């Protein structure tokens, strides 16, 4: 079980490191910049998770395979041409799998550390989006998970929920696979359909519209003592 979850975790490191290096390359950074962004993107979410769990030093520091995997992801992007139609077809699945795998790994590791459902949901989501968040902050961009993009953190939250439910039912390995598929599928669906959460202003306007509709409906309700209130 532990070995399987570690492979899931390492898969997320590889995909996220590749994404970080691709973004660094698009930003015209040098080799050092690519390496820094790859490590930050690939290991940031997991390190945040491990620090919050306080179950010892982050595994990205104590296990050489994590840093090596992040560097391999950076090397792949540095050597292989990541442009054109081929990359445009490969990029969305890689991005989606990164969300699904790390949401599953983060949620299950939190449960394995003895924490409850809500912390597992939170840390599963943080594991999936934390690296990208810190990467965007370093590049002085508004983090993609904060809005203006298709569903991302929401997909990670749903994937974490799938992993948690399966774990509680006694099927953690199945839950890890299912969470990866569900999270990845939601990211791809949101990207294809352009699904986004409403902006704060939209939500505020919706709330005002609902209140106006309620106030208007009350005008048509019969008052006490008038016909129609049951007292005739």
DSSP 145: G
Residue 204: Cβ-neighbour burial (10 angstroms; 0-12, 13-18, 19+):
exposed
221: left (phi over 0), alpha (psi -120 to 50) or beta: beta
Q: Please report, in angstroms and rounded to a whole number, the separation of the first and last CA atoms in the chain.
A: 71
pTM over the 0.85 mark = no
Cβ atoms of 182 and 158 within 8 Å: the answer is yes
- Neighbour count for residue 200 (Cβ, 10 Å): 9
Tell me what the mean pLDDT of segment 147-151 comes to: 73
Domain boundaries, the chain: 2-197, 201-232
Cα(160)–Cα(138) distance, integer angstroms? 26
Closest by Cα among 37, 44, 67, 199 to 129: 44
CA distance 49 to 123: 6
Q: Are 60 and 43 in contact (CB under 8 A)?
A: yes
What's the whole-number average pLDDT of the chain?
Answer: 82
Handedness of CA 191, 195, 197, 200 (dihedral sign): positive
Least Cα distance to 179 among 230, 133, 110, 89 occurs for: 110
Q: pLDDT tens digit string along 47-95?
A: 999 999 988 888 888 989 999 999 999 998 888 876 667 767 777 888 8
Reported in sequence order, the residue ranges of 142-208 that DSSP labels E, i.e. its strands, are none
Give the model's confidence band at 231: pLDDT under 50 very low, under 70 low, under 90 confident, else very high: very low
- Is pLDDT above 70 for 228? no
Q: What is the pLDDT of residues 177-210, one digit of tens each?
A: 899 999 999 999 988 888 777 766 655 555 565 6
The upper half-sphere exposure of residue 229, i.e. CA atoms within 13 Å in the direction of its Cβ, equals 9
What span, in angstroms and rounded, lies between the C-alpha atoms of 34 and 108? 30
The confidence score (pLDDT) of residue 201 equals: 60
pLDDT in tens, 3-24: 666 777 788 788 888 888 888 8
Query: Does residue 138 have a pLDDT over 50?
Result: yes
For residue 118, pLDDT beyond 70 = yes
Which DSSP letter does residue 222 get?
P
């Amino acid at each position: 079980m532990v070995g399987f979850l570690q492979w899931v975790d390492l898969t997320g490191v590889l995909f996220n490191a590749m994404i970080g290096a691709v973004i660094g390359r698009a930003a015209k950074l040098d080799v050092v910049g690519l390496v820094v962004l790859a490590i930050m993107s690939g290991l940031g979410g997991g390190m945040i998770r491990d620090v919050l769990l306080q179950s010892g030093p982050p595994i990205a520091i104590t296990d050489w395979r994590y840093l090596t995997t992040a560097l391999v992801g950076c090397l792949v992007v540095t050597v292989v041409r990541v442009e054109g139609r081929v990359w445009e077809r490969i990029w969305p699945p890689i991005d989606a799998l990164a969300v699904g795998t790390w949401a599953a790994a983060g949620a299950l590791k939190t449960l394995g550390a003895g924490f409850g459902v809500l912390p597992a949901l939170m840390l599963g989501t943080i594991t999936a989006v934390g690296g990208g968040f810190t990467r965007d902050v370093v590049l002085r961009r508004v983090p993609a998970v904060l809005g203006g993009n298709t569903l991302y953190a929401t997909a990670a939250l749903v994937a974490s929920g799938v992993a948690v439910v399966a774990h509680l039912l006694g099927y953690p390995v199945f839950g890890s696979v299912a969470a990866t598929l569900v999270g990845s599928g939601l990211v791809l669906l949101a990207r294809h359909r352009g699904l986004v959460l409403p902006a704060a202003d939209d939500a505020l306007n919706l709330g005002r519209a609902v209140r106006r509709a309620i106030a208007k409906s009350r005008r048509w309700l019969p008052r006490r003592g008038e016909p129609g209130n049951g007292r005739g």
